């Protein structure tokens, strides 16, 4: 809690029997305060007392159900108090609310880790999981992956035990598809249907394509352990199983970082402490070698730079290296789809997927530049920003990578979800010192 401004203490007096939508009012008030980022709250139950126009109630070992006074109290900055006071007043229809200025003589809080210790993967995983059997044909698998915007699908036996997993990379590596799924989703419905129709005649099944005996997580796995396993193995998502090995969910890197972001929102006054020796700011963990182009860089040259990047991203900068925008292969596909002839989009996607450079590309892109396909403005962070701020932005805007700039706004690096998760688990430090 920041004590640099005025601080107030709020006292809310209600009765033990007071309800809010069928629940005890005191607990409902606490949950509302937590949602709104209040530093903390306490509920006190009286042992004796009375309110206006009521009898004196006492508590004893025999009489535990008396309608005793309940006091909810909290201390926070006056601006935070003002923010929640309308909700408090609306919820407390009978009772009393007082606010008084207080002088805080000492305040300290326990540093917390990035992952709540009481949560397991079962608390954050996706439970509605698409699954296939070993004999599921390839056409059905690809249809599920494209239509439901999935990157992987677990393979289960007749008892729902996980026996394999099929990822986008598995399909490409084993020749089942020629294009990454993310790019295929940019095709028209007719082109998608044609892709699936071409797969119907293929004899491949899930058993032919899957990675056998994949890494799985028990539902009771703590979040910090799950994050460490993902980082160590370089995996983005993992199947979650029960004690018998049966599939119960999927947990992803996004799920874990979303949980951290929600904790930051609920506990803005508490400081999240990464493991010892790990980066605290984005400048300590960023990638320095970032491919760039200018606003007026010809599109054909921009595409070449894009394909040179392992992550299929380039940052658009001005003459002073100030960030103007960012370009991904998905950006190119979406914006090119409106201007290219039928079939050309598939050719472009095949090139992005590792195929041959399309003939006549210079002619097709003549007169177009990086500015025509970039996403602008780009979200950036200063190099001295805490890693927690990167998490907030990534989750709020659903982006995977953020350009990092210096004090003058010039590009100095790039951070991604994988690097952030590695930092939170301490894996980045272990790898650097191994």
276-293: average pLDDT: 85
- 343-402 pLDDT per residue, tens: 555 565 555 655 556 555 554 556 788 898 899 999 999 999 988 889 889 988 989 999
The region of weakest confidence among 2-6, 157-161, 259-263, 281-285 is: 2-6
Domain boundaries 7-101, CATH class: alpha beta
Question: Is residue 198 predicted with pLDDT exceeding 50?
Answer: yes
Q: State residue 3's pLDDT score.
A: 55
The residues facing 287 across adjacent strands are 414
> What is 282-353+368-433's CATH topology?
CBS-domain (3.10.580)
Fold match flag (121-265 vs 282-353+368-433): yes
- 106-138 pLDDT per residue, tens: 776 554 567 877 788 998 899 989 999 999 998
Please tell me the distance from the alpha carbon of residue 411 to that of residue 322, in angstroms, as a whole number.
6
Phi, psi of 425 (to 5 degrees): -90, -10
Mean pLDDT over each residue of the chain, to the nearest integer: 81
Total-model pTM: 0.63
- DSSP classification of residue 161: B
Does domain 121-265 fall under CATH 3.30.70.380? My reply is no
Question: Is residue 46 predicted with pLDDT exceeding 80?
Answer: no
* 218: nearest Cα among 235, 241, 248, 236: 241
Task: Give, in degrees to the nearest 5, the angle at Cα 109 between 106 and 114.
Answer: 160
High-pLDDT (> 70) share of the chain, %: 76
At a CB cut-off of 8 Å and minimum separation 6, what does 394 contact?
Answer: 257, 261, 400, 402, 417, 420
- 289-302 pLDDT per residue, tens: 999 999 999 887 88
> What are the residue boundaries of the structural domains of the chain, listed by start?
7-101, 121-265, 282-353+368-433
Q: State residue 403's pLDDT score.
A: 96
* 372: nearest Cα among 324, 319, 323: 324
Question: Is residue 18 predicted with pLDDT exceeding 50?
Answer: yes
Q: State residue 61's pLDDT score.
A: 41
Which tokens belong to 112? 């917390």
- 222-268 pLDDT per residue, tens: 888 999 899 888 899 999 999 899 999 999 999 998 888 877 666 65
* 117: nearest Cα among 265, 281, 260: 260
Quick one: residue 304, left, alpha or beta (phi over 0 = left, psi -120 to 50 = alpha)?
alpha
Question: In b/e form, how buried is each residue of 393-412, taking b as 16+ CB within 10 angstroms?
Answer: bbbeeebebbbbbeeeeebb
């Amino acid at each position: 809690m920041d004590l640099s401004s005025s601080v107030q203490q709020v006292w809310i007096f209600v009765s033990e029997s007071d309800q809010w939508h069928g629940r005890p009012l005191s607990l409902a008030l606490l949950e509302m305060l937590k949602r709104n980022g209040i530093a903390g709250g306490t509920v006190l139950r009286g042992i004796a007392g009375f309110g206006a126009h009521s009898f004196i109630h006492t508590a004893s070992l025999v009489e535990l159900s008396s309608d005793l006074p309940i006091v909810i109290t909290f201390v926070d900055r006056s601006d935070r108090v003002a923010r929640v006071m309308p909700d408090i007043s609306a919820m407390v229809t009978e009772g009393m609310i007082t606010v008084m200025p207080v002088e805080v003589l000492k305040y300290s809080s326990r540093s917390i880790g990035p992952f709540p210790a009481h949560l397991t993967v079962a608390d954050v995983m996706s439970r509605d999981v698409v699954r296939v059997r070993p004999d599921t044909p390839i056409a059905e698998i690809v249809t599920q992956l494209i239509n439901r915007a999935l990157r992987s699908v677990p393979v289960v036996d007749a008892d729902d035990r996980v026996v394999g997993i099929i990822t986008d990379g598995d399909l490409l590596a084993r020749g089942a598809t020629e294009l990454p799924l993310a790019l295929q989703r940019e095709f028209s419905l007719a082109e998608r249907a044609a892709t699936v129709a071409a797969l119907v005649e293929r004899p491949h099944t899930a058993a032919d394509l899957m990675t056998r005996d994949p890494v799985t997580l028990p539902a009771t796995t703590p979040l910090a352990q799950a994050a460490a396993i993902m980082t160590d193995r370089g995996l983005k998502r993992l199947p979650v199983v029960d004690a018998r090995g049966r599939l119960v969910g999927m947990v992803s890197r996004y799920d874990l970082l979303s949980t951290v972001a929600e904790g930051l929102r609920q506990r803005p006054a508490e400081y999240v402490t990464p493991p010892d020796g790990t980066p605290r700011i984005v400048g300590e963990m960023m990638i320095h070698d970032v491919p760039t182009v200018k606003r007026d860089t010809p599109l054909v040259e921009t595409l070449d730079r894009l394909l040179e990047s392992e992550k299929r991203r380039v940052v658009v900068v001005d003459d002073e290296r100030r960030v103007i925008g960012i370009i991904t292969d998905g950006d190119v596909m979406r914006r090119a789809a409106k201007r290219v002839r039928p079939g050309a989009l598939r050719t472009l996607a095949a090139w992005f997927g590792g195929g041959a450079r399309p003939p006549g590309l210079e002619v097709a892109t003549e007169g177009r530049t990086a500015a025509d396909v970039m996403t602008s403005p780009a979200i950036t962070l200063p190099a001295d920003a805490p890693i927690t701020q990167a998490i907030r932005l990534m989750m709020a805007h659903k982006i995977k990578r953020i350009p990092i700039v210096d004090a003058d706004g010039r590009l100095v690096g790039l951070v991604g979800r994988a690097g952030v998760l590695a930092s939170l688990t301490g894996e980045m430090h272990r790898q650097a010192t191994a």
